[in-house]
Amino acid sequence: DADVTQTPRNRITKTGKRIMLECSQTKGHDRMYWYRQDPGLGLRLIYYSFDVKDINKGEISDGYSVSRQAQAKFSLSLESAIPNQTALYFCATRGGSGDTQYFGPGTRLTVL
Amino acid sequence: AQSVAQPEDQVNVAEGNPLTVKCTYSVSGNPYLFWYVQYPNRGLQFLLKYITGDNLVKGSYGFEAEFNKSQTSFHLKKPSALVSDSALYFCAVRDLFNKLTFGTGTQLKVEL
């Protein structure tokens, strides 16, 4: 969905490196989410944010941190990347009164 | 804790035939249920949702889903499959805190 953008789209990095994945949205939504997708496991929630001052851990937050720089921007960081963080990462947004989450195109991250 | 099961990793169907992708769920309280589709190298696209009301929900691209409370199911259906429907389909359930729990996904393959 063009309203939710993610950068970079693909990234290869090495073990121990710090990396940041960025998400921006023009939908005007206050809620933003980070998920990772692994084959056979579906999508799992890493972190979510209901507004700039509200950050919450999801089910698999260990090894990750986030920053909500503005309502429209939500970044995911891997402080010291490890190979089992190789996955497809998705950002999603949701309006406060809405039920549906809208997803970005994803970032494919490979940690060597 | 809520959960979603998609019992089939892959579903194969001939073009023009009806298709069904199965989903069962477990949740406390009233279920909020969603179907998303993921095309290769793309993000997840919202297809349809059940919040309340009619048990047959119509969505995008000719898809529909039938909510069955007694069987705790929310199967995705289409009367006549197209080759272009080939994709990865995810069922999801929303909890009281508006977080989505996804199934592991079902790969739909529509063949000529």
| pLDDT at residue A12, as a whole number | 97
- Chain A CB contacts of B9 under 8 Å are 40
Using one digit for the tens of pLDDT, what is the confidence trace for B33-72? 999 999 987 889 999 999 988 999 999 999 999 999 999 9
Residue A8 has pLDDT above 80, yes or no: yes
B104: pLDDT strictly greater than 80: yes
Q: Tell me how far apart the alpha carbons of residues A58 and B30 are, in angstroms, rounded to a whole number.
A: 22
Q: Residue A99's pLDDT is what?
A: 78
Q: A2 pLDDT band (50/70/90 cuts)?
A: low
Can you give A44-81 as a three-state secondary structure string? EEEEEEEECCEEEECCCCCCCEEEEEECCEEEEEECCC
User: What percentage of chain B has pLDDT greater than the value 90?
Assistant: 80
d(CA A73, CA A32): 9
pLDDT digits (tens, 9 = 90+) for A48-106: 999 999 999 999 999 999 999 999 999 999 999 999 999 999 999 998 667 789 999 99
Instruction: Decide if pLDDT at A1 tops 60.
Output: no
Report the alpha-carbon angle B19-B91-A88, nearest 5.
Answer: 110
pLDDT value of residue B17? 98
Give A 89-108 residues with CB within 8 A of chain B: 90, 92, 94, 99-106
Condensed to tens digits (0 to 9), the pLDDT of residues B13-42 reads 999 999 999 999 998 888 899 999 999 878
Q: In angstroms, rounded to a whole number, what is the distance separating the alpha carbons of residues A63 and B30?
A: 34
Question: Which of A41, A31, A27, A103 is CA-nearest to residue B101?
Answer: A41
At residue A49, what is the residue type? S
Binary contact (B46, A43; C-beta < 8 A)? no
Cα of A90 to nearest chain B Cα, Å: 7
Interface test with A, best of B98, B101, B104, B107 (most A CBs within 10 A): B98
- On chain B, the residues whose CB falls within 8 A of the CB of A33 are 99
For residue B104, give the nearest of A40, A58, A104 by CB distance.
Answer: A40
**How far away is chain B from the Cα of A43, in angstroms, using its nearest Cα?**
6
CB contact under 8 A, B99 and A100: no
pLDDT band at B112 (very low <50, low <70, confident <90, very high): very high
Q: Is the pLDDT of residue A32 over 90?
A: yes
Backbone dihedral angles phi then psi of residue B21, each to the nearest 5 degrees: -115, 125
Statement: residue A44 has pLDDT above 70:
yes
**A112 pLDDT higher than 60:** yes
Average confidence score pLDDT of chain B: 93
